[in-house]
A and B are shown apart, each in its own frame.
Chain A
Amino acid sequence: MEKIKSEIIPDHVPNEINYKIIILCFTAGIVFHYSMTYFSSLEGQMKNANYIIDVVSIINPLVTAIFAFVIAGFYRMSKIFGRAYIFLGLAYLCAASAESIYGIQYDIMQIDPYPSIADLFFAALYIFWIVHIITNIKYFGTSLEYKKLIAFIMIFCTVVFSYIGIVLYQLQLEPNFEFFYGLLFVVLSGIALPFVVYAAMIFKDSALGKAWYILLLAFLINISGDVWYYYLEVFEQYDLHHPVNFFWYIGYWIQSYALFKHKKVT
């Protein structure tokens, strides 16, 4: 009798992570990146490859933004989720705007877009991300234990000081403008990451927790890409065919999957 009951009623709310989708995101990212690298190496195709990369770089956050706004629409009657997903949608919209400005400056106006007005939107992306996470934490969180607070400060320090350490080592302790400019964004990344970790810990072992684990993975990928990018900019090593772009492609795809999982369970 007990066996029959357990077959009918699952003992938890099902929301399993489909690892095939995550592997697919990684594979698609690698395939796209290397196919663009190959395409750009063909004679006279560099510009076209750049355009394709620009368009994909805009579409990725734009689709994620649309996805977040649609979910916010589904949650419009919810005091907590509706507001949180509007902030997330705004974050991705800022990312799409930043990518658009960056692409126009880089490929059409042919000016070096670093620093650029696009960076304001990239900064806003982090701010809206943080607001989205804080909205969730404020509602679902209770207290932050001292040990966790220390751990989060350490995460922040690891992100920030790894950038400072590596760059200053490479620059032989002579920081330039690009170093300080990049540091601003690295600090924002360093603030965002512990918040995502904390949110994932709040929802640990629950159906919603699965969505937050995926979001944490996506944020880690995006933030790693961002920190690497600002490092590259200090040494003027970045271009549209650098492997760092791969992090942003898959970061947004996995974030879209996290949004889907969130909506599926709640």
Chain B
Amino acid sequence: MITEMDVLLTRFIEKHISTQLGPDTIQRVKDRLLEKGYPLTQAIKEFDPFDKTLREFFGKGTDGMLQKVFAEICEIKKDKSGSFKSFVIKDPSFVNLILSTYGNQEKKTILETVAEVSLSISDILDKINLSQSTGYRIINSLIKEGLLIESEHNEVGAEGRKVSTYKSTISLLDIRINRSNIEVEIHFTHDIIKNSRIMASIMPIFSKPRT
């Protein structure tokens, strides 16, 4: 299952890996993935095909490369047991995405509404007092950006249809302003971390020391 955390991280992994390897090399990786039936973005979201393809090109060098790519996107914080705790975002465009999302009153209200409970889109719209068209547009953009997650526990509507419910991907957000430096630390819900394909592949790599 691809989680919203995977969706959220995919674009930054794609951006950094493309910058590091350059257009020619990334095109070769894309071509190879297409041979296997995956567009690059989809392969990164699923991660295993992406990881396997990188290993065909770079062997064990893939571990080092992914470490560096992730280090440019975020610093992974672990708890005492060594499990994933949170991300401190390093990528400026990622920081901007979070700040602009939570700086937007409507988006912030939606994310706050579903911070604790999962709600259907119509319930969200009822609570925040937005027009349907604006509300749908904003909610869709939040889903597309990976900031809203479809809940595993869907509601059953009046006609017996399953209705998708959504909640915020980020469970806790810390913003620290230290003179000119803005540090953003995000915590994800346990379910997202547990189901994330990217995290499942990345965490063992991060247990290796870096050169």
Residues of A participating in the B interface, judged by any CB pair closer than 8 Å: 9, 12-13, 74-82, 137-144, 201-209, 265-266
Cα A140 to Cα B58 in complex, Å, equals 8
- Closest Cβ–Cβ distance, residue A250 to chain B (whole Å): 27
B-side interface size class: 20 to 34
CB <8 Å contact, A74 and B24? yes
Does B77 interact with chain A (Cβ within 8 Å)?
no
Pick from B20, B23, B24, B67: contact of A142, CB below 8 A. Answer: B67
CB <8 Å contact, B32 and A13? yes
CB <8 Å contact, A202 and B59? yes
Cα A50 to Cα B205 in complex, Å, equals 55
CB <8 Å contact, B61 and A140? yes
Can you list 28 A-B pairs with a CB-CB distance of less than 8 A? A9-B36, A12-B56, A74-B24, A75-B24, A77-B23, A78-B21, A78-B25, A80-B21, A81-B22, A82-B22, A139-B65, A140-B61, A140-B62, A140-B64, A142-B67, A142-B205, A142-B209, A143-B211, A202-B59, A203-B58, A203-B61, A204-B60, A205-B59, A206-B56, A207-B57, A208-B57, A265-B28, A266-B25
Chain B, 96-133, CB within 8 A of any chain A CB: none
**Given A206-B59, A208-B57, A208-B58, A142:B210 Cβ within 8 A:** yes
CB <8 Å contact, B28 and A266? yes
Does B90 interact with chain A (Cβ within 8 Å)?
no
- Closest Cβ–Cβ distance, residue A262 to chain B (whole Å): 10
Return chain A residues, CB-CB under 8 Å to B205: 142
How many A-B pairs have beta carbons closer than 8 Å: the answer is 94
Main secondary structure, interface of B, reads helix
CB <8 Å contact, A141 and B24? no
Residue of B nearest to A138 (CB): B211
CB <8 Å contact, A139 and B28? no
Main secondary structure, interface of A, reads loop
Cα A17 to Cα B60 in complex, Å, equals 20
Cα A144 to Cα B209 in complex, Å, equals 9
Chain B, 41-64, CB within 8 A of any chain A CB: 55-64
Cα A81 to Cα B58 in complex, Å, equals 13
- Closest Cβ–Cβ distance, residue A35 to chain B (whole Å): 40
Return chain A residues, CB-CB under 8 Å to B67: 142
Does B85 interact with chain A (Cβ within 8 Å)?
no
- 20 additional A-B pairs beyond A137-B211, A207-B57, A265-B57, beta carbons within 8 Å, are A13-B56, A13-B57, A77-B22, A79-B19, A80-B20, A80-B22, A81-B21, A139-B61, A139-B64, A140-B61, A142-B205, A142-B208, A144-B211, A203-B59, A204-B59, A206-B59, A208-B59, A266-B21, A266-B25, A266-B57
